[in-house]
Amino acid sequence: MQVNMLEAKSQLSSLIVAAERGEEVLIARNGKPIARIVPYSPPRVKSPGAWKGLAPYSTDWRSPETDQAVERLFAGEDDAPAA
């Protein structure tokens, strides 16, 4: 269903009911669709620990050399060789 702005202002409640029923509701300006009314669906948030065991990572990432390299990066020193 497509309605113009003036219609949408006067029929907002019925347009929302139509969207809740699954109907596509487009709001148009001068015949050109500019907005769509859709039912709200809350964002799906994963619980803490949902990725546990699913993302592989290296267990040997922590070493004195790595710690020093990270400290140098935070201090603004550049490890990269000059090109």
pLDDT per residue as tens digits for the range 4-51: 999 999 999 999 999 999 999 999 999 999 999 998 888 888 788 888
Q: Are 11 and 5 in contact (CB under 8 A)?
A: no
* pLDDT over 60 (residue 80): no
- Looking at residue 46, its pLDDT comes to 77
- Looking at residue 17, its pLDDT comes to 95
- Looking at residue 83, its pLDDT comes to 46
Q: Which residue has the higher pLDDT, 57 or 30?
A: 30
Q: Which of 16, 37, 19 is nearest to 27 (CA)?
A: 37
